[in-house]
Amino acid sequence: MFRVMLVEDDARLAQLVTEYLGAYEFTVDLVTRGDAALDAFRTLMPDVVVLDLMLPGMDGMVVCRQIRAVSAVPILILTAREDSYDEVSGLEQGADDFVNKPVQPRVLLARLRALLRRASGKPDGADAGALVFGALRIATSDRSVSWRGQPCVLSNTEYKLLLVLAEAAGQVQSRDAILKKMRGIEFDGLDRSIDNCISKLRRRFDDTESEKIKTVWGEGYLFSPSAWA
């Protein structure tokens, strides 16, 4: 799944885009004000930004410039304006693509996919192989993890366990299956290393109620994809 930050104050268009992209490989987070976009970007760490120009609080051009100053994330501008000056200005401010409204959802989908394909080759760009669940982001390209917009330093074992669970999000993983994926060995019924590591991960990610990484008694552990907001 890829994460899209949609900065748009048109509720009808936002709903259309969210529903359409949500049917494919995208999760959409909506921001309705320009002056809230940068803070939202730092929290969400999206793979791509879809940005309207005419926004309350702050003009979209300014938002584009702010985001580009801190990230190489792909930015696609959506606007009802027809002035070619806006397109040139948007590209000069750091936008990667520019689409006039009204836009057909399938066209927007194709443009986003193209942007992500190009970005996957940029060392500072979005990681097309990243796993994103709410405020958690696992970048498989450099084995980095961020939580609520901040880097989270994990041990090698913690990272491997988190990745194993996240790649099987929504599915119960037995201790045997986890050990086989991590070490290539079977669970002997006595090894408590997985349980201990689960406890460490819960502490790191404020999971005191075991809602993010659930214990399924008699079966194993389940990574809940909806609990990381």
Q: Please say whether the beta carbons of 136 and 185 come within 8 A.
A: no
Residue 64: what pLDDT?
Answer: 92
156: CATH: 1.10.10.10
Decide if 124 is inside a domain: no
Higher per-residue pLDDT: 92 or 152: 152
Name residue 78's beta-bridge partners: 52, 99
Q: Is the model's pTM score more than 0.85?
A: no
Same domain membership, residue 115 and residue 49: yes
Decide if 199 is inside a domain: yes
Provide, rounded to the nearest whole percent, the portion of the chain with pLDDT above 90: 34
Segment 32-38 long-range contacts (CB within 8 Å, at least 24 positions apart): 32/7, 32/8, 32/56, 33/9, 33/57, 33/58, 34/7, 34/58, 34/59, 34/60, 34/62, 34/63, 37/5, 37/7, 37/63, 37/66, 37/67, 38/63, 38/66, 38/67, 38/70
Decide if 23 is inside a domain: yes
Kindly indicate the confidence band of residue 125, based on its pLDDT and cuts at 50, 70 and 90: very low
Q: Are β-strands 131-133 and 97-100 bridged in parallel, bridged antiparallel, or unpaired?
A: unpaired
Domain count, the chain: 2
Domain that holds residue 145: 135-223
Same domain membership, residue 110 and residue 9: yes
Decide if 129 is inside a domain: no
pLDDT of 213 above 60: yes
Distance, in Å, from the CA atom of 44 to the CA atom of 192, rounded to the nearest integer, reads 34
61: CATH: 3.40.50.2300
